[in-house]
């Protein structure tokens, strides 16, 4: 059976265990390094912050974390490697690209560049370079491909990234995980990737819990793909109670085998930092890498969800995302 690439090397799919399928160790939005007031970039401090946030998940039985940071959000595989070996937890990192609005596209948009190569091919070659040779000189290879689209539309750049990811995924067997902006464009992402010949079992459409329509969730699921309710604790747009209601409903009508859960937590964010408005702070007060275990699983159980269903979402489905079976 095909091995799963982690930042410390390949593992067998059955060794993945309980998995948080969408979290972030270190993130930096493009331009943070142009802010003269940004904090210095200190890996040792970042590792400490990651360990402080993530260590508690081990007591709940988490064995693996997928870091969904694409290559253009200041992904740092050295931090991941250090955290993985210190914590003795598997970390799977991503290649891939973020949205046109918030990702790092300026280089590919530059007129001189667009005269040299075509976008789709350059994106594809970039993903393949990381998958086959490793990221930079680290020797670390990504285990998933992450792609993203904006709110309510897929730009030509994002579409090229999705198609390039589909080709790289098809050729290498790596799963494709996505960012949707508040759950919009989920059916379109799924249709595009499946249309490009990607095995639907190896696709996880992300942030679907941002869309409060059950019918919409089913429109995505009915394309044969997996979906992720991966923003538990971020209640700025959708309260967890709505997420839980939708999840209980979908589990109740037979979709347990195709839903995964996570937090989209960010252990450290580069830049100058600062205080968020009180309203945001209040609506993310429970957001942490253990929130699912402390608050969400008990609520699901109260609603009649079984231990077996939780095991399916957190252990079996992540394993199947990689194995495609
Ligand atoms: Zn994310």
CA-based R_g, the chain, Å: 18
CA of residue 96 to ligand 1 center, whole Å: 12
Give me ligand 1 centre to Cα 153, in Å.
Answer: 18
User: pLDDT digits over 245-276, tens only?
Assistant: 999 999 999 999 999 999 999 999 999 988 88
- What is the mean predicted confidence (pLDDT) over 223-234? 98
Reported as a single tens digit per residue, the pLDDT across 73-97 is: 999 999 999 999 999 999 999 999 9
Cα 265 to ligand 1 centre (Å): 7
List phi, psi (to 5°) of 260. Answer: -125, 155
Strand partners, 203: 176
- The contacts found for 298-307 with CB under 8 angstroms, 24 or more apart, are 299/240, 299/244, 300/244, 300/247, 300/248, 300/251, 303/244, 303/248, 304/248, 304/252, 305/247, 305/248, 305/251
Centre of ligand 1 to C-alpha 178, Å, is 9
Confirm whether pTM is higher than 0.85. Answer: yes
Q: Cα 123 to the chain's mean position, in Å?
A: 19
Distance from residue 180's CA to the centre of ligand 1 (Å): 10
Question: Ligand 1 centre from 146 Cα, in Å?
Answer: 9
Banded pLDDT at 117 (limits 50, 70, 90): confident
pLDDT tens digits for 268-319?
999 998 888 999 999 999 999 999 999 999 999 999 999 999 999 999 999 9
Mean pLDDT taken over the chain: 96
| pLDDT value at residue 116 | 79
Distance of CA 148 from the midpoint of ligand 1 (Å): 10
- Predicted pLDDT of residue 274: 87
Query: Ligand 1 center to residue 69 CA distance, Å?
Result: 6
CA of residue 197 to ligand 1 center, whole Å: 25
- 36-57 pLDDT per residue, tens: 999 999 999 999 999 999 999 9
DSSP 10: E
Tens of pLDDT, residue by residue over 10-26, are 999 999 999 999 999 99
The CA distance from 201 to 271, in Å, is: 37
Please give the Cα distance from 235 to 287 (Å, whole number). Answer: 9
| Cβ–Cβ under 8 Å, residues 177 and 145 | yes
Measured from the Cβ of residue 272, the count of other Cβ atoms closer than 10 Å reads: 10
CA 70 to centroid of ligand 1, rounded, Å: 9
Ligand 1 centre and the CA of 205: distance in Å? 12
């Amino acid at each position: 059976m095909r091995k799963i690439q982690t930042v410390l090397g390949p593992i067998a799919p059955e060794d993945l265990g309980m998995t948080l399928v969408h979290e972030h160790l270190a993130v930096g939005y493009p331009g943070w390094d142009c802010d003269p007031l940004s904090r210095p970039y200190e890996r040792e401090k970042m590792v400490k912050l990651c360990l402080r946030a993530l260590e508690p998940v081990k007591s709940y039985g988490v064995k693996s974390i997928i870091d969904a940071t694409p290559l253009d959000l200041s992904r740092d595989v050295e931090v991941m490697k250090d955290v993985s070996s210190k914590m003795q937890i598997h970390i799977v990192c991503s290649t891939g690209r973020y949205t046109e609005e918030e990702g790092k596209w300026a280089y590919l948009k530059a007129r001189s560049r667009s005269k040299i190569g075509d976008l789709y091919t350059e994106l594809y070659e970039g993903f393949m370079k990381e998958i086959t040779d490793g990221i930079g000189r680290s020797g670390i290879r990504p285990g998933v491909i992450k792609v993203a689209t904006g709110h309510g539309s897929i730009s030509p750049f994002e579409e090229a990234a999705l198609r390039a990811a589909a080709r790289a995924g098809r050729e290498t067997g790596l799963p494709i995980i996505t960012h949707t902006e508040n759950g919009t464009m989920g059916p379109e992402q799924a249709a595009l990737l499946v249309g490009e010949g990607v095995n639907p079992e190896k696709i996880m459409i992300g942030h679907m819990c941002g869309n409060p329509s059950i019918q919409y969730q089913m429109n995505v699921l009915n394309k044969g793909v997996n979906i992720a309710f991966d923003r538990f604790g971020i209640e700025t747009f959708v309260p967890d109670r709505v997420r839980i209601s939708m999840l209980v409903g979908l589990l109740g009508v037979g979709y347990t085998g195709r839903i995964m859960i996570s937090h989209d937590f960010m252990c450290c964010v580069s830049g100058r930092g600062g205080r968020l408005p009180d309203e945001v702070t209040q609506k993310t007060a429970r957001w942490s890498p253990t929130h699912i275990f402390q608050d969400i699983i008990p609520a699901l159980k109260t609603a009649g969800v079984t231990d077996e269903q939780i095991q399916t979402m957190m252990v079996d489905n992540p394993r199947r995302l990689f194995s495609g079976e």
